Amino acid sequence: MRRVILFLTRASFWLSGWVSGALLCAAATVESSANQATKLIAPAVSTGTGLLLEPALTLPEFTREKFAAAMATVGAEKIRRPWTSPVVTLAPHPRAGVRGLTEAEVKSYMLEARRLFDRGEAAPVSDVGLISTQEDVIRKPMLNHIAAFSNSVVRVYLLVQKTSTDTGWSHFSIVQDLTVTPVLDYYAELTAAGPRFEGTSCYKCHSSGPLAIHPAREDLVLDAPLAAAISQHIAEQPRSQFVFPKDSPKPPTGEKLTLKFCTRCHDDGGERDALYQVHAHPIRVLVDFGYMPPNRRLKPEEIAELKAWLERKP
Ligand code: HEC
Ligand code: HEC
């Protein structure tokens, strides 16, 4: 799937270059977009916007050695694996010409991702996640192993997670059904009884589907190039729609964000889905750490407008 997209992108660059006679220029564009794929994720540094509810965490006691040891408690053989592609290819879908996966098929992809991870056949990236760690209630290292899988009908993600003080690891999964338009995103916790679909809590951070990876500190990631490659795969995801199960509905959203410097990209029908007050937590973190907007720093008056909107009672 990814190859096809890459090929198409290249082909269209090539064609437009050919049509305009600017072949050299087209070749340079292709080159720079290929380089971007391997650009490492920028380190998390607070820009001091005043948007954070709690001081920026630096976790001084949590050394790289402690981090690596805590990560390995999941089973050292399952992580830090050699990889060539950041996305593990799944067997082709058994049902030909499928339009719309059944819930049972979605769940079986979730379980397959977990099985591959447990057998050391995934390519997981391991990090301390910035957004979850900086959250006002957690405030301790949130350890994440994230692995990506796909075939021509699905993109599957697995998250194996615990805080630094929990004993056991929890498992979560997102499956994107690519056989329908718009693409549908299913969220679940993988419990002992099997995958349990959820929506309410996941939507508070996952407003547009899977989230790009943001380690809390530059040294709290095992395999930074893999983190960048998985993040790139996530960023290239199709626009998709959240599936809310009946017993875990969409939470009250509060007001929609209408500030132009965000809605250029985050809006109904935009590059990313619209943001609401319910998404305050990832908004505060991603803007304060300078990740949003992606291409520039907000001006002080823009920060003030965003802050006022975040503080408005829904
Ligand atoms: C507090 C915010 C928050 C909530 C709530 C949340 N997530 Fe996430 N999730 C994240 C962040 C941040 C990442 C990327 C972590 C990183 O950078 O290491 C992530 C990553 C994931 C991934 C790996 C793929 C990806 O998106 O990068 C899965 C799978 C996942 N979450 C599932 C879930 C499910 C299922 C729920 C609801 C039960 C949920 N999450 C709720 C913040 C959240
Ligand atoms: C130029 C386009 C662009 C602008 C402008 C922009 N964003 Fe984003 N935003 C993105 C992209 C692309 C992603 C997903 C990739 C990533 O996280 O790096 C994203 C991700 C996010 C996320 C995580 C949820 C998601 O959609 O994946 C939040 C929250 C967010 N942006 C908030 C904001 C806020 C708040 C503003 C305005 C201050 C803003 N963004 C401006 C492009 C943009």
Lowest mean pLDDT among 18-27, 151-160, 241-250, 298-307: 18-27
Does pLDDT of 282 surpass 80? Answer: yes
- Provide the token pair at 33: 């977009």
Q: Which of 238, 300, 278, 229 is nearest to 51 (CA)?
A: 300
Protein residue with its CA nearest to atom 18 in ligand 2: 212
CA of 206 to the centre of ligand 1 (A): 7
- Say if residue 27's pLDDT is above 70: no
pLDDT recorded at residue 294: 94
pTM: 0.90
Give the rounded percent of residues in the chain with a pLDDT score beyond 70.
Answer: 88
| Ligand 1 pocket mutation pick from 127, 142, 169, 172 by most atoms within 8 angstroms of CB | 172
Asked whether the predicted pLDDT for residue 167 surpasses 70, the reply is yes
Tens digits of per-residue pLDDT, 50-98?
999 999 999 999 999 999 999 999 999 999 999 999 999 999 999 989 9
Residue range 101-131, pLDDT digits in tens? 999 999 999 999 999 999 999 999 999 999 9
Closest CA to 90 of 43, 156, 34: 156
Q: Which atom of ligand 1 is nearest to the CA of 215?
A: 17
User: 265 CA to middle of ligand 2, Å?
Assistant: 7
Write b or e for each residue in 279-313: b if 16 or more Cβ atoms lie within 10 A of its Cβ, otherwise e: bbbbbbbbbbbbbbbeeeebeeebbeebeebbeee
* Nearest listed ligand to the Cα of residue 41: 2
Take atom 1 of ligand 1 and give the residue whose Cα is closest. 132
Q: Is the pLDDT reported for residue 35 higher than 70?
A: no
The preferred substitution site among 202, 286, 309, 310 for testing ligand 2, maximizing ligand atoms within 8 Å of CB, is 286
- Residue of the nearest CA to atom 15 in ligand 2? 235
Residue 220, classified by CB atoms within 10 Å of its CB into exposed (0-12), middle (13-18) or buried (19+), is buried
Q: Which ligand is nearest to the CA of 285?
A: 2
List all residues whose CB is within 6 A of at least one atom of ligand 2.
Answer: 207-208, 211-212, 235, 261-262, 264-266, 271-272, 275, 279, 282-283, 286-287, 292-295, 298, 306
* Model pLDDT, residue 67: 97
Q: What is the pLDDT of residue 105?
A: 98
Query: Cα of 23 to ligand 2 centre, how many Å?
Result: 33
Tell me what pLDDT residue 136 has: 75
Supply the mean pLDDT for the chain.
Answer: 89
- 1-23, pLDDT tens digit by residue? 333 333 333 333 333 333 333 33
Q: Where are the domains of the chain?
A: 1-26, 53-251, 252-314
CA of residue 275 to ligand 2 center, whole Å: 9
Query: What's the 215 CA to ligand 2 centre distance in angstroms?
Result: 16
Residue 15 or residue 219, greater confidence: 219
**Nearest ligand atom owner, CA of 215:** 1
Amino acid at the residue 40: L
Q: pLDDT band for 219, please (50, 70, 90 cuts).
A: very high
Q: For residues 257 and 268, is the Cβ–Cβ distance under 8 A?
A: no
Q: What's the CA-to-centroid distance between 171 and ligand 2, angstroms?
A: 26
Lowest mean pLDDT among 14-18, 39-43, 259-263: 14-18
CA gap 97, 199 in Å, rounded:
28
CB distance 135 to ligand 1 below 6 Å: yes
Dmax (CA) for the chain in angstroms is 62
Cα→Cα distances 199→23, 115, 169, 178, 202, Å: 48, 23, 20, 19, 5
Q: Within 13 Å, how many C-alpha atoms sit on residue 125's CB side?
A: 28
The sign of the torsion formed by the CA atoms of 87, 294, 310, 143 equals: positive
